[in-house]
Amino acid sequence: MGPGRILLAAAATVAAWAGVASGPAAGQTPAARSGPRGIELRDLDRAVDPCTDFYAFSSGAWREANPIPKGTQRWSRRAAARDANRQQLKALLEELSAKADRPRGSAGQQLGDHFAACMNEPAIDAAGVTPLAPLLADIAGIQDAQGVQRAMRRLHEIAIPGPFVVTGASSYHDPESVVANIAAGGLGLPDRDYYLKPEPRFAEARETYRAHAASVLTLAGATAARARKDADEILALETRLAEASLAPAAAADPATTAHPLSFAELKQLAPNLDWESYFAEAGLPRIDVNVAEPAFLERLNRELAATPVAVWKAYLTWRLLEAAAPWLAKPFADESFAFKDRYLGGVTTAKPRAMRCLESTEALLGEPLGRVYAERYFPAAAKARVQEIVRSLLAVLKDDVRDLAWMSDAARQQALAKVEAYDVKVGYPDAWTDHSALVIRRDAFWSNVAAARRFGVEADRKRVGSRKSRALWLLPPSSPDAYIDVQLNLMALPAGFLQAPAFDLAASDAVNYGAIGIGVAHDLTHAIDLLGADFDSRGQPRNWWTETDRDAFRKRGQCTVQQYDGYTIEPGVHLQGKQVLGEALGDLAGVRLAYRALQRSMQRRPVPVIDGFSPDQQFFIAWGQFRGAAESPDLQRQMVKTDSHATSRYRVIGPLSNAAEFQEAFACKAGSPMTRPPEERCRVW
């Protein structure tokens, strides 16, 4: 996920598959009744008064029945839905791969054969390192500096970076346009500190890395002595490159890395790099580029002249092997797992092969997979319904901004323009890319990986020079995650994310507005809040809040800061209102906006009383059930210190105790814990 982009469904540590209850509750199947589905009755703790503790009332029974699985700190219906999503995809791929004679170039053939080839471990093991032989021979045959650069280009064509990388990216100063972004890439350790810092943990990581590289080079056929020598040279070269690399935070900051150059200036900056050949072979237009790290490119320019060809050959061999190792024969895959996942990543057990193959298929064939997935799990009617929800939320937000008394007129004009221009991608792209020319074979896994990567790189390069940065989806349609791009003023909600409990076509509008509706409304406010204030409606980096707006915001926000400061997770440990302010205001506004949008929607399509719950009650309970989670005490203590979101309990209670509509819906009396006194009610958006 790039700069300015925020992943919405935070990738919770995913629990082991076995023994995990997932999916919607039994007894609530849509087929069992004629009307829409209501809230999850089994999750309610009816022993608790909703006006006393709505969190316990709405999802307490769920927590009682669903302890946090071992090895994770948080569990929820949303987390279970992530698991269900993986299981759906796995079943889909197993079904597709069971049939070997689908029409060539069809999504079913490509998906089924890619998955089958990946699952065929005996064939992969038997092939050893042979699938890489042509590329390894290319590198071994390098004679001179031109040869070094030619080999780099060959690796880039299959998305193997080193020592730099060129990708299409939206321009910082003109974000709709896609430019060639030239960035540092191709260090085997996570960042510069690992190469440069003297602390024991970094020194140990360097030694482990050196041994790892030597092992893989040996597996690929080098003698032990040669492999050790090469590993030493590789580490030394990467250390020199690391010296000129930015720290991760700076490298991820779009403002720090925005250095637009003309093609001529690029050639001047790093004349030893053959940019003419690079751009010609890549089919890239010779127009303005962005150089993310000019100092790095200057250093690389010097290294190209100063570092012997033999060292470059070792380095490029290593880059190729390192990238391919997870997908080669078992000894390579084991070595890669031991270093990258276990040593660097702290992962103890490898994922089941089927999960790895699913991830490979999703990463390489995201659109074909998304297409097949959506046909089964996110029909056109679901897309239309979510789009309708989004439209109504945007309309309500627009009215809201028009009426905001505290906002200056100058800021209001910008805010309205941003709401009007806001782009919400729902489910899957409106037009699918034609993948039929991509050759995927049932008997050649690495060649499939390389072909699919090449296809992706070509598509990426074709976008350079266009104004299509908005059209790009950064997650595949099957993903259980979603994201917002604050600069581009857009949100993407993949079909895999738009599943129960977030959205369910069979559920009542009240339930959907209470779940995905509040969630989307929350994120829309980020377009105009402190985050969105940094970019105008065209995505230009220009803060459009006036001093008056900042003052008014600070004053009004104080109410919410105080409210959340008052929430404790255990005796003596309370939330930090300032730290969670932006997200708490999003929840507060999300509930208000989605409630109003639901009322409008019900004028056209009324929601019936279901299981004895009024539409308004369904709406509020849906929020409690969507947000409700089990979080370990350790995780809660951690969240209080660092998370910009309140713990789940307060994300439910916080906004609802402010809402008169909530108190009306449950007939809560003044003075009840879920009823804040009128003078203490907060509102910013």
> Does residue number 655 form part of the binding site for Zn ion (CB under 5 A)?
no
Quote the CA–CA distance of 128 and 136 in Å, as a whole number: 13
Output the six-digit token pair for 310: 């033999």
Going by C-beta distance under 8 Å and a sequence separation of 6 or more, which residues neighbour residue 304?
145, 148, 149, 272, 273
Measured CA to CA, the distance from residue 128 to residue 585 in angstroms comes to 55
User: Any idea which residue has 């857009």 for tokens?
Assistant: 490
675 burial (CB, 10 Å; 0-12 / 13-18 / 19+) is buried
**Closest CB to Zn ion among 421 and 531?**
531
355-384 binders of Zn ion (CB under 5 A): none
Our CB check for Zn ion shows the closer of 366 and 590 to be 590
Binding to Zn ion by CB under 5 A, coded x per residue (else -) over 571-610, reads: ------------x--x------------------------
Decide: 118 and 449 in contact? Cβ < 8 Å.
no
CA-CA distance, 184 to 299, in Å (whole number)? 11
- Least Å from the CB of residue 580 to Zn ion: 10
How many Å separate Cα 319 from the centre of its chain? Answer: 25
Length of the chain: 685
Q: How far is the CB of 587 from Zn ion (least distance, A)?
A: 8
Tell me the sheet residues that pair with 181. Answer: 167, 290
Q: Taking the CB of residue 570, how many other CB atoms lie within 10 A of it?
A: 10
Rounded least distance, CB 522 to Zn ion, Å: 6
The candidate with the shortest Cα–Cα distance to 505, out of 390, 614, 381, 594, is 381
In the region spanning residues 292 to 331, those forming contacts with Zn ion, defined by CB under 5 A, are none
Between 161 and 586, whose beta carbon lies closer to Zn ion? 586
Q: In terms of CB distance, is 113 or 587 closer to Zn ion?
A: 587
CB of 9 to Zn ion, least distance (A): 11
Least distance in angstroms from the C-beta of 6 to Zn ion: 7
Both tokens of residue 497?
């994310």
CB of 592 to Zn ion, least distance (A): 15
Least distance in Å: CB of 529 to Zn ion? Answer: 9
Q: Which is nearer to Zn ion, 444 or 518 (CB)?
A: 518
Residues 13-52 that bind Zn ion (CB under 5 A): none
Which is nearest to 119 in space by CA: 98, 103, 133, 138?
Answer: 98
Residue (241 or 646) nearer to Zn ion, CB = 646
Residue type at position 140? A
d(CA 109, CA 488): 35
Tokens of 674: 């879920």
The least distance separating Zn ion from the CB of residue 382, rounded to whole angstroms, comes to 24
Size of interface with Zn ion, in residues (CB under 5 A): 2
Residue number with CB closer to Zn ion (370 or 628): 628
CB 654 within 8 A of CB 637: no
For the CB of residue 583, give the shortest distance to Zn ion in the complex, in Å: 5
Name residues whose C-beta falls within 8 Å of residue 662's C-beta, 6 or more positions apart in sequence: 54, 591, 620, 656, 668, 674
Q: How far apart are CA 290 and CA 266, in angstroms?
A: 9
Closest approach of Cβ 528 to Zn ion, in Å?
A: 13
Nearer to Zn ion among residue 252 and residue 530 (C-beta): 530
State in angstroms the smallest separation of the CB of 625 from Zn ion: 19
Instruction: Give the shortest CB-534-to-Zn ion separation in angstroms.
Output: 15
Q: Which residue's CB is nearer to Zn ion, number 514 or number 532? A: 532
Three-state secondary-structure class, residue 573: strand
Supply the Cα-derived Rg of the chain in whole angstroms. Answer: 27
By C-beta, is 362 or 583 nearer to Zn ion? 583
Closest contact distance (angstroms) between CB of 491 and Zn ion is 11
Which residues have a Cβ under 8 Å from the Cβ of 15 and sit 6 or more positions away?
69, 70, 71, 72, 75, 79, 83
Nearer to Zn ion, 259 or 683 (CB): 683
* Nearest to Zn ion of 335, 587 (CB atom): 587
Q: What residue is closest to Zn ion based on CB?
A: 586
Provide the terminal-to-terminal Cα distance of the chain, rounded to the nearest Å: 28
* Nearer residue to Zn ion within complex by CB, 521 or 607: 521
Helix (H, G, I), strand (E, B) or coil at 593: helix
Q: Distance from CA of residue 92 to its chain's centroid?
A: 22
Cβ pair 187, 206 in contact under 8 A: no
Residues binding Zn ion (CB under 5 A): 583, 586
